[in-house]
Structure 1
Amino acid sequence: MLENQARVIVLLTICVIDRSLGGGPTKWEKINNILNKNDFSTPPWRAKRGKSTVTMEIFFSQIRRTGVHNVEFMFNIYQTWMDTRLSYDSKNPNDIVEISKRHWDKVWQPDLYPDNDISSYRHDVSKVNKLMWVLPNGTVTLGLRWTTELSCKLLTVQFPVGRSVCRIKFRTFSYRNEVLRLQWKKKRAIHFTPDSFENDLKIVRYKGRICTNDRVSLVRTSCAELRLHLKMDYSSSLLRLYLPSVFVVVMAWLSFWVRREQVAARTSLTTLCVVSMITEKMGVNFLMPEAAGVMAVEVWMFVCLTFVCGALCEFIWVHTLSEFERKAKVNGNMRHSSVTTADLPSVAQLRNRNNVTHTDIVVAGKTWRRRCAYCGIFLKSSQLETCAKILYALGFVSFQVVYWVYFLLVD
């Protein structure tokens, strides 16, 4: 019994001696003691009268559209800078010490914010999504989880895709560019997760750079910009935009099959098609976003409106020509019925018929000008309408082929 008690006492004595000689405070205890005794909320360059550089790295977890122009970004951003006041001794230079939440306010942090955002907030589920750690040489890393909504500039809308550029500007608010400088990490500063994009969004290219000649306040502060070129899918607009206009153009083509004598029916049908096409075009202007260039849907609407208006103009043309033919036929019948024996030409008149007089030239000129005025030339109204039916259908089919091949394959 006494031997066992002696063994326990010896072991406890050895543990106490080992702790007093070789253990010492842990690295976490060192940082904790430093922050308990000191307050480093002032910038690290104040004592040395120098400047600091904040290096940024960003990880996107989700990018989605919230409107025609607006895009929402969810990301984790990490800021790294040097603060030698927090350095500590360690055998491993890659040791990391997490600074506890109660000491966050005692460590200086850059006042970074997205300059061109519509709305932004930091995540706090289930606690504030924030981390801060320090390396033995005093390198501090601050991590934040952020969601920012931006208004992106739309470059073009070419069915079924649209191209836009989003610029995320990170800026410090109260520190001059001479004392605090923002920069992106030299290698792999921007990261995307495989599921970061929605199905209707794709990243074309991206680039991080430093803002130049970009002053938004009284103090010239440092700014780092991330430019993202996105491709947006508008294939859902097929049923809402394209098919109704196709039906209107086909209805205008069906009006060619209505008899020319049915003026009221044919005029009403073609006018209704023109009004429908104009109404749809106005609706597209409100539905689709404003782009810097000409949108593909604008080209489509303009060509469809041209075809529909052409159907109305064709009917006016053919109807006018048919009326001219009817009057000419009536006048010819009247002349033929009014001819008598006394009106037969004499022999002298028959001899002079081969001689072209000035009156004959005038009459021929009037006939030619009349034909040119009605644009019938050498075609009758029925022949002209048959040609219009064929050319209308072939023209619209050719436009379909060129349009879809260009915007689906070439672009």
Structure 2
Amino acid sequence: MIKLEDGMWNKIWVPDVFFRNEKRADFHSVTVPQRLLRLYSDGRLWYVSKITAKLSCPMKLKKYPLDTQKCPFIFESFGHTLERVVYKWLPNSVEKEPFEMPQYQLIGWTQRDCSQNYTAGAFPCLQIDFLLKRDIGFYMIQVYIPSILIVILSWVSFWIDIDAVPARVPLGLLTVLTMTTQSAGANSHLPRVSYIKAIDVWMCMCLLFVFASLLEFALVNVYSRKEFNIWRRTNSMMPVQNGRKHHHHHHHRHGSDGAEEEIPLKKVVTTPSGISLHMNGKSDYASLREDEKRFLIEHKQKARHIDKISRKIFPVSFILFNVVYWVTYFMLPDD
């Protein structure tokens, strides 16, 4: 075996290999051209060159970020057909050195012959498919765990009193806006594909849960006010302007002897909620106040019962969604 001097590769024939899916490639020339040419006693030549190449890898992102990608590396002859040149894999033609990638794990590779016919003829071709599994650790920390915490935060409103509107409404709006911002950030560095990705399903469902929590409070609030309005109509009471808490209207008439007498006509009372009511008859204020207080407690208990049901339905539904989501995308085969 003889190592030939540098530059001898320019004086002999070398294969016209090119990378079909190349985007950019460079020879290494620091500090000397990193090429090797050896001549064996049986006449064989061994030519080696070190190249750094940037290759295109068509990705399918339906399972992103739980996906496994197949990235090809394609060698093909530019001008020689199969009648003159044949490419074959050597034993142990691919060797893996210890290295780590920030987002992927190299789990294996496959080799095959990709020779095909063109208009000018059949050209030799070899292809290596590298199997890259995306590391989910980054997405668990930056996407999944924060979104789970936001959904759980939206359930806090179920434990806040229904009368605390200034507390429950901002909490619901804050979680909805936070989920919208997080969804936009998670997709900002991805190509705009026309199909639904796994992360889109996750973000949409989390947004749906926090939005449903906000709608639940609206439902409870409307239900409680509707019940009170129905109660007012069924008790034949006519609201008037707020006045003093307890005063009488009198009607004066003249008797047969010319003397005036007062006849009580109506009594106006103000309820604890600030509503003035005309009451016919001799019902006193104490009894009306107890009736209204009892009704307010009853219909608020009904509204609170909806909150109690939501405390169970929302967590159980979210857990079921998680089971279906993770099982489906982990067991779904890659295309």
SS at match of 1:181: coil
- TM-score where L is the length of structure 2: 0.69
Contact 2:115 2:122 (C-alpha < 8 Å) held by counterparts: no
- Is 2:226 the partner of 1:321? no
Distance in 2 (CA, whole Å) between partners of 1:380 and 1:386 is 10
Counterpart among 82, 85, 95 of residue 180 in structure 1: 85
Q: Which runs of 5+ in 2 are unaligned?
A: 238-277, 282-300
CA distance in 2, matches of 1:291, 1:197: 28
Number of residue pairs the alignment of both structures matches: 274
C-alpha separation in 2, matches of 1:98 and 1:325? 96
1:128-277 equivalent positions in 2, closer than 5 A: 128-156=33-61, 161-185=66-90, 187-193=91-97, 195-198=98-101, 200-213=103-116, 215=118, 221-263=123-165, 265-277=167-179
Cα distance change on mapping 1:271 and 1:198 into 2, 3 Å = closer
Counterpart in the other structure of 2:252: none
The letter for the 1-side match of 2:307 is E
Distance, in Å, in 1 between the alignment partners of 2:69 and 2:115 is 22
Q: Is the helix fraction higher in 1 or 2? A: 1
What is the Cα deviation at residue 289 of structure 1? 6.0
Name the CA distance, whole Å, in 2 between partners of 1:117 and 1:400.
40
Same amino acid, percent of matched pairs: 25
- Quote the residue 1:332 is aligned against: 234
Which amino acid is the alignment partner of residue 382 of structure 1?
R
Task: Check the 8 A contact 2:69/2:133 in 1, yes or no.
Answer: yes
Return the TM-score normalized by structure 1. Answer: 0.58
Taking only aligned residues, the RMSD between alpha carbons, in angstroms, comes to 3.3
Take 1:295 and 1:301, find their aligned partners in 2: how far apart are those partners? 10
Aligned counterpart for 1:126 among listed residues 25, 31, 34: 31
1:160 CA drift (Å): 6.9
Partner of 1:389: 311
CA offsets 1:88-122 (integer angstroms, 9 cap, x no match): xxxxxxxx222222533222111212221222112
Q: Which amino acid aligns with 2:14?
A: Q
- In the alignment, the residues of structure 2 paired with residue 313 and residue 290 of structure 1 have an alpha-carbon distance, to the nearest angstrom, of 31
Match of 1:314, SS state, is: helix
Write the letter of the residue equivalent to 1:135: Y
Contact kept, 8 Å, 1:158 with 1:295, in 2: the verdict is yes
- Secondary structure of the residue aligned to 1:324 is helix
How far 1:310 moved relative to its partner?
0.9
User: Does residue 117 of the first structure (1) align with residue 19 of the second (2)?
Assistant: no
